[in-house]
Amino acid sequence: MTMMNKIVFATNNENKLREAREILAPLGIEVISQREAGADCEPEENGVTFAENAMIKASAVYDIVKCPVIADDSGLCVESLDGRPGVYSARYAPKGQECAKLLAEMKDIPDNSRGAYFQCTIAYIDAEKYFTVSGKCVGEIGHEERGTNGFGYDPVFLYNNGKTLAEMTADEKNKISHRGNALKELYKKLKEKGE
């Protein structure tokens, strides 16, 4: 077999699963959630980098399922906030209030200093190897929430086409998203290794 056909994604987040499935499906890879694989665990993400947190999750699920696992950690890094919220993006504000808190914190920051990027690091682990790959999506923080297609910080993150990630279709977002870019790097690496 030249390519594996199943990977467990160490998440139960439907948005992340959908994105991974859409990107990896044309490559012949079936992505299943940790719940579908029978891995009921919530490891503590106490790493200080995206790579550490991704590997913590991947290792915990791999210990249960003993088959290829990927896990991701991602977040929004805002240049004028010294890279915050960064690895703490999910804990930066109560769920659903992330955009409002960020906009309030950035209300006095001028347009030319609103640069930001999403970073996603994916950890891969199987019986023989483990590695991480990363992807970025560079843009800036807008002044208001726009769009309904995204989640998290998508409604305030402006891409260079003038749209927020939440105003894009799934196809548009997959082509440029940090997770999409990291998944493409993952595919390249697996292909190189002759999976």
Evaluate whether 182 touches 133 at the Cβ level (below 8 Å). Answer: yes
User: How does residue 95 score in pLDDT terms, banded at 50, 70 and 90?
Assistant: confident
Residues marked as catalytic: 73
Q: Residue 194: what pLDDT? A: 55
Residue 36: pLDDT over 60: yes
pLDDT higher at 135 or 177: 135
- Verify cis geometry, omega within 30 degrees of 0, for the bond prior to 94: no
Domains along the chain with CATH numbers: 6-192 (3.90.950.10)
Structure tokens at 123: 């950890």
Q: Share the mean pLDDT of the chain.
A: 91
Give percent of the chain above pLDDT 90: 68
Read off the pTM.
0.85
Alpha carbon 167 to chain centroid distance?
18
Residues 6+ apart with CB under 8 A from 78: 84, 85, 102, 106, 114, 115, 116, 141
Rg (CA), the chain: 17
Residue in 90, 87, 43 with CA at minimum distance from that of residue 62: 43
